[in-house]
A and B are shown apart, each in its own frame.
Chain A
Amino acid sequence: MRGSRLGSWLAMLLGVLYFFIPLLATFEFSLRYFRGVYSVEAYRIVLADPQFGATVTYSIVLALATIVMGIALVVPTAYWIQLRLPGLRPVVEFITLLPLVIPAIVLVFGYLRIYNSSSILPLTGTERTTDVLLMASYVTLALPYVYRSVDTALRAIDVRTLTQAAQSLGAGWSTILFRVILPNVRVGVLSGAFLTFAIVIGEFTMASLLDRPAFGPYLQLIGANRAYEPSALAIISFALTWACMGLIQVFGRGAAGQAAGAR
């Protein structure tokens, strides 16, 4: 078995190199702003750019809104399916997987066609309603991951007994959802939330095509016009991804999935 263990270490080494070399190179590149000497000038320029702060804030607020809407949509649905309509489970699961089948760019193309300013529901008519549309499209992108993590958490608890116990103590539906079910699926909800955050924060395609000032399109714009600042931004957004995934690990004990939206 010695030989095969050597092979395993070799495979790991290759993996480590593939993972770390681009990061190292990006970091090194981001420090090259002045010829011949390493400096953090690129970071200083990026952080001082008012557009950076504005787009990051916009994306963070949008991510938080997406998380709230996604959870408000998924938790009651998954709970109700588990409790009362188990027959619908395959249908709902199929629908939650659709965003993995239909590429994001196709979805947003459909939105632009159905919600354009001359349609019945002109969501792209004003900036505010476009924000709502963008939020809904992010809920859609995150749906497979949020649904899966909430559903896994719900299956781990005894929904029926908890509901009956709460009802026999006189709880209404909102009390049951907010004070009984939600605290019990906290882990799943949190890992879904961080994954949503990781998807939304750097998403490019939908924000760009709906013409909203989010962080993803800003990244692309800087990338097309600057030399060293993009590397600094890449390091910053890598740190953000790390933070989200690290928090999922802390709360969800390794339930990290993969976010499709960023691509």
Chain B
Amino acid sequence: MAQASRVTVAPSPGAPTVVSRVSWAWVGVVPFFAFALMFLILPTALLVVGGLQDAQGRLTLTNILDLFEPTILSSYLISIKVSAASAIGGALIGFFLAYAAISGGLPAWVRPTLMTFSGVASNFAGVPLAFAFLATLGRTGLVTALLVNVFGFDIYDAGFNLLSFAGLTLTYMYFQIPLMVLILAPAIDGLKREWREAAANLGASTWEYWRYIALPILWPPLLGSTLLLFANAFGAVATAYALTGSSLNIVTIVLYAQIRGDVLHNPNLGYALALGMILITGLSNAAYIWLRGRSERWLR
């Protein structure tokens, strides 16, 4: 391709000369790679190296092993639990919503409306989202009050607390569900109506259609999107921080406190904490990319 253009783009007078022998084409992408190096690759690489060093700069695995201390390990576990629960919940509800809007026999205006609202809701995150849920399910929130006044049921007496695992998961799902709708819509579009009709003609029940046709095709995008949602929630800081302050010990909050004031009393342990996070989000993203590759075979 590049060869062809070099032949046809004949330098006319005054036009930028296109060098034909030694290609200088790479110069055009130098700014981009310089930027990526400065603001993506080097900062991350430095943290990774820092996580593998002791205070004197010698290579060590102590920091990595220290991540398995009970307090740090529990913060990773809470993060993983919240991220997994909100990803699975968001993926299930998002899947039903997207399927209902696309193949559920609803009027044509439902789908674009759902997509627009998903675009908005998936971007409504961070600090304001925490405020919204405090006003809804906090101790004096509207839904909490309504449940007490109408049904005489106090969710806080029943053990619910917004500033906990359940509350944070419910809050995260507010952006996870619409994100799932946005990512999964193309995959559901790929489920051809003919497959369902052919299955019905051959006498398959709805269950058999899902078991033998739809799910075998849909599982890679379903699982892949769930992994993406997981990584999305795992790196979140602002919502949790505004909602719970530092009362819920998730790993991003620990890292935030560490950056603010070295609460772990060991800078290198802080770098290792970041290294662990990169590993977890990296693995789930890699699995997502692999699964997306698999799903593209069918869903063209």
Seen from chain A, the residues whose Cβ lies within 8 Å of a Cβ on chain B are: 1, 4-5, 7-9, 11-12, 14-15, 18-19, 21-26, 28-30, 73-74, 76-77, 80-81, 83-88, 92, 95, 97-114, 136-137, 139-140, 160, 163-164, 167-168, 170-173, 198, 202-205, 209, 216, 219-220, 223-224, 230-231, 233-234, 237-238, 241-242, 244-246, 248-249, 254, 256-260, 262-263
A81-B29, A258-B122, A262-B123 as given contacts; A113 in contact with B46, CB under 8 Å: yes
With contacts A25-B135, A77-B29 taken as known, whether A204 is within 8 angstroms of B238 at the C-beta atoms is yes
Asked if B121 is at the interface (CB within 8 A of a chain A CB), the reply is: yes
Pick from B9, B116, B132: contact of A26, CB below 8 A.
B132
Q: A22-B136, A99-B40 are in contact. Are A105 and B255 (CB under 8 A)?
A: yes
In the assembled complex, the Cα of A25 lies from the Cα of B137 at a distance in Å of: 9
Cα–Cα, bound, A81→B32 (Å): 11
Name the CB-closest residue of A to B280: A103
Question: Whole-angstrom distance from the CB of B102 to the nearest CB of chain A?
Answer: 10
Known: A29-B135, A204-B127. A80 touches B12 (CB 8 A): no
- Asked if residues B14 and A202 are in contact (CB atoms below 8 Å), the reply is no
A-B contact pairs, 21 of them (CB 8 A): A8-B99, A25-B142, A29-B141, A80-B29, A85-B28, A101-B231, A101-B281, A102-B44, A103-B235, A103-B237, A107-B43, A113-B271, A167-B9, A172-B14, A202-B127, A203-B126, A204-B238, A223-B131, A234-B135, A256-B115, A263-B232
* B35:A248 contact, CB within 8 angstroms: no
Q: Is A216's CB under 8 angstroms from B100's CB?
A: no
A168 touching B12 by the CB < 8 A rule? yes
Identity of the chain A residue whose Cβ is nearest the Cβ of B126 in the assembled complex? A262
Count of chain B residues near A, Cβ 8 A:
96
B132–A22 contact, CB under 8 A? yes
| B80 on interface, CB distance cutoff 8 Å | no
**B95 to chain A: closest CB distance in Å?**
10
Known A-B contacts A21-B136, A73-B31; A139 and B39 likewise in contact (beta carbons under 8 Å): yes
How far is A62 from B7 in the complex, measured between Cα atoms in Å? 44
- Nearest-CB distance from A96 to chain B (Å)? 8
Determine whether the beta carbon of A85 is less than 8 Å from that of B25: yes
B132 adjacent to A262 (CB under 8 Å): no
The 8 Å CB contact of B128, one of A76, A86, A102, A234, is A234
**Chain B residues near A88 (CB, 8 Å)?**
29
Interface centre among B106, B128, B179, B245 (most CB of A within 10 A): B128
* Contact A28 B135, CB 8 Å, known A101-B282, A170-B12: yes
The answer to whether B70 has its CB under 8 Å from any CB of chain A is no
Q: Answer yes or no: B56 CB below 8 A from chain A CBs.
A: no
Residues from chain B with a CB closer than 8 A to the CB of A83 are: 5
Contact between A220 and B8, CB atoms less than 8 A apart:
no
Contacts of A160 in B (CB 8 A): 5
Cross-chain contact B115 with A254 (CB below 8 angstroms) = yes
Taking a contact as CB atoms under 8 Å apart, the answer to whether B39 and A137 are in contact is yes
Name 6 extra pairs, CB < 8 A, besides A5-B106, A100-B231. A105-B252, A109-B43, A114-B46, A258-B179, A258-B182, A260-B235
Which chain A residue has the least Cβ–Cβ distance from B177? Answer: A18
Given A80-B29, A114-B42, A245-B123: A109 in contact with B270 (beta carbons within 8 A): yes
Residue in chain B with minimal CB distance to A95: B36
Instruction: Tell me which residues across on chain A come within 8 A of B143, comparing CB atoms.
Output: 21, 25
Interface string of B168-186 (1 = CB under 8 A from A): 0000011101110010000
Asked whether B76 is an interface residue with its Cβ less than 8 Å from the other chain, the reply is no
What is the CB-to-nearest-CB distance from B146 to chain A, in angstroms, rounded to a whole number?
Answer: 9
Q: Which of B10-47 contact A (CB under 8 A)?
A: 12-16, 25-26, 28-29, 31-33, 35-36, 38-44, 46-47
